[in-house]
Structure 1
Amino acid sequence: MNNDFENDSADPVSTTAGKLRRLVSARMVLPLLAIVSVSVASGLYFGLYRTDARTGDDAALAALDAATAGSEALLSYSPDTIDADLETAKSYLTGDFLTYFTEFTDRVVAPAAREKSVTATASVVRAAVSDLQAGAATVLVFTNQVTTSADRPDPTAMSSSVLVSLTEVDGRWLISAFDPV
């Protein structure tokens, strides 16, 4: 009987301690799970699913700046600096358009610039974002280009409009297509 009394007195204490531990664990686990769930959901929302951060004003401005600077670089060169000018232009390009531009300038533009002393200077007069999505943009660019050569030393001015397609590569907007309109 004495033995039962000791077990009865030990059981309420150990049972109470066990219940207390379970209660504290439950009270700790639920808030911890809530914090982890909110953190994961926030990370996914802001990191992967919130495309407006990648299509907002900052992205539009960056695409506009890249299209403007890239268009001027593509359309400006001089016989004395043709190699450096073309390398600068290529730094604004990506994909198939980079391949096409490289081949075209190696076969046509660079030889003509050297042989006929062709100088072209382009400036963007106006530009506007036409379409902006996460990772892709289209910018309408209006340019003025002045060209001179040994055959025609008087400047020839030409205005044009171009749809510049851009792709975001490693956080940088690069020209993937350059289509006159």
Structure 2
Amino acid sequence: MKRTLKIRKSFNLWLFTGASVLLVASLIVGGWTGYSAWQEREADNARNDSVVVARRAIEGMFGYSYQSVDQQMPKVVDDMTSDFKADWMKVTNDVIAPGAKEKELVVTATIEATGVISASANHTEVMVFMNQKAVGKDPAKGTYDQSKLRVKLDKQSGRWLVSDVDPI
């Protein structure tokens, strides 16, 4: 009788240990699966939200009128990181605005397509295919350009902001 009781206790101990191991393993696998699903959902949100900001920023940066460039560009920088904002305003003030006023340029930027190169919860890279048409006081010297741009965006304080734009 004692031996049967001892075997039963040993069996119960092994059963409890096995069930505990399975429970812990299930919790680990469930937690890992949930975390992976959350990361994928965050990356999907990043892809969708950052493309919207990239399109808006690129259209504003590369489409302007000599009559309103001084009022327009300060609005465009709302979608930029502080470092990129400082660089862009310097380019605007030193090159874009004076050139636009001198040649009386009206530049239209049209985004033809976008594609996400890479995305994580806090950083994305978006490829932007843009057409840019410029007409000035001499319409015969108007231009039409097609460009591919790599737009890097960072999420700061819950907002997607352009941190760099590189022509490809």
1:99-110 → structure 2 map (5 Å cutoff): 99-110=86-97
1:128-167 → structure 2 map (5 Å cutoff): 128-153=115-140, 155-167=142-154
Amino acid at match of 2:43: T
- Relative to the length of structure 1, the TM-score reads 0.69
- CA-atom RMSD, angstroms? 2.1
C-alpha distance in structure 1 between counterparts of 2:159 and 2:62, whole Å: 21
C-alpha distance in structure 2 between counterparts of 1:142 and 1:149, whole Å: 23
Amino acid at match of 1:110: A
Shift of 1:141: 0.4
Q: Is the 8 A contact 1:129 1:140 kept in 2?
A: yes
Query: How many positions carry a matched residue from both structures?
Result: 136
Amino acid at match of 2:42: R
1:124 maps onto 2:111 in alignment: yes
Amino acid at match of 1:73: G
Larger Rg: 1
**Quick one: percent identity of the two aligned structures?**
28
Shift of 1:161: 0.1
Amino acid at match of 1:83: D
Q: Secondary structure at the residue paired with 2:79?
A: coil
Amino acid at match of 1:54: E
Q: Secondary structure at the residue paired with 1:54?
A: helix
Gaps of 5+ in 1: 1-41
Shift of 1:113: 1.3
Gaps of 5+ in 2: 1-30
